[in-house]
Structure 1
Amino acid sequence: MRQAVDYLPRRAAELVLEALTDTRVVIINGARQTGKSTLAERCLVDRPDAVKRYLDDPRTRASATADPVAFLDAPGTMLIDEVQRVPELWLAIKHAVDRDPRPGRFLLTGSARLLGLSELPDALPGRSETVELFPLSQGEILGASDGFIDAAFAEGSSLRVEPSDVRRKDYIDLASRGGYPEALRRHAPRRRAQFFKSYLDDIMSRDIHQVADIQRRSDMRRLIAALAAQSGGLLNYSRLSSDLGIPVTTTREYVALLEVVYLVRIIPAWSANATARAIATPKLVFNDSGLAAHLLAGVTNDAATGGLIETFVLGELTRQLTWSQTIARLHHYRDRDGYEVDAVLEDDAGRIVAIEVKAAETIRTDDFRSLRMLQRRLGERFHAGFVLYCGDQQLPFGDGLSCLPISALWTTIRT
C-alpha cells in the first residue's frame, strides 16, 4: 500500500465507507493531488479480500484495455485508481454490477468529473454514488470542527463562536497556502511556488489532454491567469473573450474544461420571486485559493486581496457542503440595484443563510446593507445573515444578523 506522509484524516472517509455498505459502485472524484488514492486505500484497510489496480501503471492499463471483463474479476471490493484512463472499463463495470448487485463491488477514483467525459457511456443510475474530494479544509488541516453550516442552520443567529486570534495577515497566509497536501508539506514559499507551477503543467499536459484536444495551450494558460485575477467575481464570457482575443465560444468551452478538471468552480446565481431584480450571471472561483494566489503573485492591491479571501471562504463552504448533515446548495446573489451577497445557502426547506465576506478587521453598519435587503424581501425564509470578516469578535447587528471571525467556519462545532 502506498504510504502517505503526515496523513491528515479526511471527512470524506466516512462518506465513502457509508456508501460502500449499500452501493455497488462508489466513485471518489476530484482534482489531481487531493489524496484520492490514499483515501481509497485507507477505506479498504478492513477489507482483506480487496483487490487494488492502478491504471497509471502501463502494464495494468494494457491488461484493462485488452480484456476488461477478466480484469474486473475479483471476489471482494476492487479499487481501480484513475479509472478514466481506460474508458472501456465503464461498460464492463456496468455489466458486472448488473449481474452481481452486491454493495461495495467497486471503489473508483478519477481526476476529472467522470460522468461528464464524452468518452464514457451512460451513467449508472441507482448503482453508483460519487464522493467529491477537494483540497484539505482548514478543519482537516488543524484538527478543528468544520461545523459552521450545520450550526448556522440549526441555531441561526443564536450561533455562538469563540473570539479569534487570527488576523488579516494570517488569513491571507492561510488562503495563499491553500489545501493541496503536497503544497502544505512545502514550507518555503519558493518550493510551494514550484509545486503550483508543476501542478498547472500537469493539468495542461495530462488532465485537460484526457478530456479535449486543445489546439492553442497558450490561450488556455492566459485564460487561467485572467480567471485567477477575478476569482470570486462574476463570470463575464464576453469581457474575457474581448480582453484575451479569444472567441466567446472557445472561452466558454475552455472554462467548462477547467471545471471538469476541478481547477475552477461555477457558483450559480440565486433568485426567487421575492427578488425579481436578481441577475442570472454566475460567479467563478478557483477550487484552491493557494493556486489562485500563486497565479496572482506580486499583485497586492485591495481588489486582489478581497478576491483571494472570498475564494478562500467559498472554498471552505464548498468543502463543508460535501459532508454537512444539512443538505444545502451554494449560490450567490446580485441584483440590478447594486445589492450583492457573496454566498447564499439554501436548504431543502427553502431556508436561507446568507453570508457576506469582508477582508477587513473592522465592521461597519453598511456592510450589512445587502443582507438586510434580502432579509426584508424573504421574510421568514431568511434564517440568518452573517458577515465573515478578518476581525476577532462576534457582534450582533440587528435581529438575525451578526458578524463573525472567518475562523468560525472551522472552529464552530457541528450540532
Structure 2
Amino acid sequence: MDEHGKIAARVPHVSYLVRTIDAELDEMMPFLAAVALDGPKGVGKTETAGRRVAHTYSLDDPDQRKIVAADFGLQSIPEGGVLFDEWQHLPQVWDSVRRQVDAGAPPGRFLLTGSATPVDAAGTHSGAGRILSLRMRPMGLHERGVVQPTVSFSELLYGSEGGPDTGYAGPQAKIGGTSDFSIVDYAQAIASSGFPGIASLPARLQQVQLDSYLLRIIDRDLPDRDIEVRRPETLRRWLAAYAAASSTTATYSSILDATTGGDGYQPSKDTTLRYRDHLQQLWLLDPVPGWTSFHNPLKRVSQAPKHQLADPALALRLLNFTANDLLNGRGVHMFGPLLESLAALGVRILAQAAQARTFHLRTHGGDHEVDLIVEGQGGALLAIEVKLAAGIDDRDVRHLHWLKEQMRGDVSDLVILTTGSQAYRRADGVAVVPLALLGA
C-alpha cells in the first residue's frame, strides 16, 4: 500500500467480488436515508459504497474536507446518493447527515464509510434511529470466489423453512456437497488475506503489502490519534503476542508478559490497554465476546473474549510465518487457531446478514468449550466447532452434545467445520461441513 493506505496504482485492477454485505445494503437502502459502513482500512468499504452513489466526498482529502466543513447544512451537496468516505476526518458530517435525515432525506441519500472511531466524538450524536451502522469485515472464504458453497448458513441457523423474521422453523438444513479445497488451500487462504486489493496478489507481494499495512498502523494511524508510540518495536511485539493468542481467551497480563523482548523492556499494563482500546477503534482487533445471553441458562461461564485480529493473515505476518510454515514448519502449532480465525471471520459476516450475533462459550476451568455460538432471531441458536482435521469422531462432537443437553434441546443445529472434502450429517445429527462449502 502507498503512504495513504490505498492499494498502489501499479497493482493490477481487480474485478469486484460481490460481498455478503451487498445483499444487506440491497435490502436496507430502499427504506433508509443513511447507512454507515465501519471497518478497517483496505476492507473494500469505498468500493462497495461507491457503486451505490452518484457522488463521493473523500474526507481524508483536505480540499474536499474544507468544502463539506463549510456547509454544515449540506445545502451545496448535489442530488442523488452521496458517499462521505472516511467521515471520521470530519466528525461534524455525522451530525449534518443526521439532521438531513430528520428533515426528510429520501431513502438511499447518504452512505458514510469510516475506518476509525473519531478521536473527538464527544459532541457527535449517536445517530440511533437515523443512521444504521453496519460492520464490514475482510472477505470471508465464501466471498473470495474460490469455491461454490453448497451449505446455507441461514438454513443451519433458522432451518430450511425459517428465517430472521420467523426465527427457527425446522426441518433442519440439508447438508451435502463436495469440495476439492485441500489443506494446502486452507493454509494459503489464511496467508492471502481477505483484503480485496491484497488477496489477488502473488504470495510475496501479499506479504509485503500486509507488512506495510501493519507498519502504517504503528507509525501513522496511532500517532494520528495522539497515541504516543515511543517504542514502535515494542508495540509490534505486543501485537505479535496478541496474534499468538488468536482463538484463545489468554489474559491480557499473559499477553503482556510475552511482549518482553531481548532488550528486557516491557511496556506498562496501562500503556498496552490504551493500545488495545485504540486498535479496536481502528477495527484492527476483532475479539469474539463470551456468550452471556438471556437464553443462556448456564451459570459458570467465562465472559472473557476470544482474541482475534481483523484478518488471520495479519496474525500470520506478525508472527513472521508463511503458509508453508503452517503446513510443515515452525508455524504448525498456529494452523488450528488461525483456521478458527478464518472460520470466525466468515461466520460473523454470515451471522450479521442473518440478523444474528456471534459469541463463544467456555465454562470456568475450561471443562467445556464451544468455538462459536450464533444467536439469531426468535431464539434460534447455532453451535459451531472448528476442527483442522478432515475426519471427525465422537470426541470431536462431545462439547456440542453437552451444550444441546444443557439447553434442553433448544438448539437449531450443531455443526463441525472441517478441512475435509464431503459435507454430510452424522447419525447423531451433527452437520459436518467443509469450511469452503459454507455460504449464505
TM tier, smaller: 0.7 to 0.9
Aligned partner of 2:106 among 93, 97, 102: 102
Partner residue of 1:47? none
Q: CA separation in 2, counterparts of 1:401 and 1:329? A: 21
Question: Could you list the runs of 5+ residues in structure 2 that have no partner in the other structure?
Answer: 1-8, 161-170, 260-265
SS at match of 2:51: helix
Q: CA separation in 2, counterparts of 1:106 and 1:209? A: 30
Shift of residue 398 of structure 1? 4.3
Alpha-carbon distance change, 171 to 273 in structure 1, aligned in 2, over 3 angstroms: closer
CA contact (8 A) 2:210 2:314 kept: yes
Q: How does 1:75-114 map to 2 (within 5 A)?
A: 75-113=79-117
Aligned partner of 1:26 among 35, 55, 66: 35
Q: How does 1:329-348 map to 2 (within 5 A)?
A: 329-335=357-363, 336-348=365-377
Alpha-carbon distance change, 166 to 215 in structure 1, aligned in 2, over 3 angstroms: closer
Aligned length: 401
Deviations 1:162-197 (CA, angstroms, capped at 9, x unpaired): 12222222211112112111112212x221111001
Q: CA separation in 2, counterparts of 1:291 and 1:337? A: 27
Q: How does 1:358-373 map to 2 (within 5 A)?
A: 358-373=387-402
Q: Given the alignment of the two structures, is residue 246 of structure 1 paired with residue 267 of structure 2, yes or no? A: yes
Deviations 1:49-95 (CA, angstroms, capped at 9, x unpaired): x3321123221123233443357533333221111111232333333
Aligned partner of 1:224 among 230, 234, 239: 239
Q: CA separation in 1, counterparts of 2:181 and 2:141? A: 13
Shift of residue 239 of structure 1? 1.5
Q: CA separation in 2, counterparts of 1:15 and 1:337? A: 37
CA contact (8 A) 1:266 1:284 kept: yes
Alpha-carbon distance change, 363 to 70 in structure 1, aligned in 2, over 3 angstroms: closer
Q: Given the alignment of the two structures, is residue 295 of structure 1 paired with residue 318 of structure 2, yes or no? A: yes
CA contact (8 A) 1:388 1:404 kept: yes
Counterpart residue type for residue 264 of structure 1: L
Aligned partner of 1:39 among 41, 48, 59: 48
Partner residue of 1:380? 409
Shift of residue 401 of structure 1? 1.6
Q: How does 1:13-412 map to 2 (within 5 A)?
A: 13-44=22-53, 50-69=54-73, 73-113=77-117, 118=121, 121-142=124-145, 144-145=148-149, 148-153=152-157, 154-155=159-160, 158-187=173-202, 189-216=203-230, 217-244=232-259, 245-271=266-292, 274-298=297-321, 300-324=330-354, 327-335=355-363, 336-410=365-439
Shift of residue 265 of structure 1? 0.8
Alpha-carbon distance change, 104 to 391 in structure 1, aligned in 2, over 3 angstroms: closer
TM-score, normalising length: structure 1: 0.88
Report which of the two has the higher share of strand: 1
Question: Could you list the runs of 5+ residues in structure 1 that have no partner in the other structure?
Answer: 45-49
SS at match of 2:412: strand
Q: CA separation in 2, counterparts of 1:223 and 1:368? A: 34
SS at match of 2:286: strand
CA contact (8 A) 1:388 1:405 kept: yes
Counterpart residue type for residue 345 of structure 2: G
Alpha-carbon distance change, 125 to 158 in structure 1, aligned in 2, over 3 angstroms: closer
Alpha-carbon distance change, 200 to 87 in structure 1, aligned in 2, over 3 angstroms: same
SS at match of 1:270: coil
Shift of residue 147 of structure 1? 5.8
Q: CA separation in 2, counterparts of 1:53 and 1:273? A: 45
SS at match of 1:341: strand
CA contact (8 A) 2:92 2:124 kept: no
Shift of residue 311 of structure 1? 0.5
More deviation, 246-255/167-176: 246-255
CA contact (8 A) 1:331 1:344 kept: yes
SS at match of 1:80: strand
Shift of residue 366 of structure 1? 0.8
Q: CA separation in 1, counterparts of 2:84 and 2:75? A: 10
Shift of residue 260 of structure 1? 1.6
Q: CA separation in 1, counterparts of 2:152 and 2:216? A: 34
Q: CA separation in 2, counterparts of 1:104 and 1:384? A: 36
Shift of residue 352 of structure 1? 2.1
Shift of residue 354 of structure 1? 0.9
Q: CA separation in 2, counterparts of 1:179 and 1:322? A: 17
Counterpart residue type for residue 235 of structure 2: M
Shift of residue 4 of structure 1? 5.6
